[in-house]
Amino acid sequence: MKKLTSPFLYSFFILALFTSFCDNASKEPETDKEKLFYKYDLDKIVLPPGFKISVFAEVPNARSMCWGEKGTLFVGNRQKDKVYAVRDENKDGVAEKVYTIASGLNMPCGVAFRKGSLYVAEVNRILRFDNIESSLDNPPKSVVVFDKLPGERHHGWKYIAFGPDDKLYVPVGAPCNVCEVDSVHATIMRMNPDGTGFEVFAKGIRNTVGFDWHPQTKELWFTENGRDNMGDDIPADELNKASKKGMDFGFPYCHQGNTLDPGFGKDKKCQDYVSPEKNLDPHVAAVGMRFYTGNMFLPEYKNQIFIAEHGSWNRSTPIGYRIMLARLENNKVVQYVKFAHGWLQENGKVTGRPADVEIAPDGSLLISDDQRGAIYRIIFEN
């Protein structure tokens, strides 16, 4: 057999390079879904095997989320004045329509849905939009449910939700980094759906922007952001559990369950307050959280907690910018691990800031990103 000549080998090599180039060129994003995937740098997101991420919707400053009864996703924000409604009519995992249902509001971060009505939390009041899912194109005027919340914008944005007792839970953050407060600030309050019965449910909570109830025990779990200016590594953010009314979680006297405040902790004891169920990493800004109640993911995810870590703003080495998973056994946190990460890259570049998590009716996990103005969707495929 005659050996191949050197010119033939050279030509073969050039052809192979050209073919490879053409193959790579053919992999450029073509569909709108693929273009969105790369627009939001989702190729950099690391997930467990079998999970995939995509863009569900583009929503400016997307923050807190809740579902309506007819499949509408409502979205609030804390940086602008609008509330949005998102529809995926054909159920393909990509929303076709984003409606602006309210504008001119004061940091309308929190949204909650009950019996056909959307409740929206501004800094100082709670509004209600009745029969909203039937009038997305022509939203109704709001009804004021409660207008006696404090007006400070520092920790004034609110996450709201209805509990198993059919009461609306509303946090009131501390109006400061750290300070002594009155009986309303640094609390989780609750009220009846009509705004009556306003009362303190739990106190000593610096600022929570995410909570949910355990699907089985019905206990309230919530994230809490630790104070600043005590250093890079202290105090930790917290995952807490309020199993009954009247519990005190220690702010401003005790942080992370074991550290007295240098300015306000004199003559105090940390054992006098409720300790966290889990100390998270310091300054990660743990915000939105949900128990996973869907059926798409593997069984080991059932009734476990997903937490959005918005990311540090004043730490010398940034941390957070990820979705974490708190694994529970016998109602205790036994593991806290990364689920989705990559919004904070090794070179320090930030490509997104997770703000809230929500479980979709099909069992997928939605993540709002208020920095990039998007809502991501994570699915599991066998």
What's the pLDDT score for residue 3?
45
Domain chopping of the chain, boundaries: 38-380
Residue of 289, 297, 288 whose CA lies nearest to 363: 297
Tell me which CATH code domain 38-380 carries. 2.120.10.30
Residues whose CB falls within 8 Å of the CB of residue 214, separated by 6 or more in sequence, listed in order: 221, 291, 303, 331
- Phi/psi of residue 32, nearest 5 degrees: -60, -35
- Checking if the pLDDT of 373 tops 50, the result is yes
Q: Give per-residue pLDDT as tens, 196-222.
A: 999 999 999 999 999 999 999 999 999
- What's the CA gap between 60 and 223, in Å, rounded? 24
Residue of 188, 195, 257, 252 whose CA lies nearest to 219: 188
- What's the CA gap between 63 and 155, in Å, rounded? 15
What's the pLDDT score for residue 18?
43
What's the pLDDT score for residue 28?
67
pTM over 0.85: yes
Q: What's the average model confidence in pLDDT over 232-247?
A: 98
Residue 196's Cβ-side half-sphere holds a number of Cα atoms within 13 Å equal to 1
Residues whose CB falls within 8 Å of the CB of residue 109, separated by 6 or more in sequence, listed in order: 63, 64, 76, 77, 78, 121, 157, 158, 159, 209
Asked if 76 and 111 touch (Cβ cutoff 8 Å), the reply is: yes
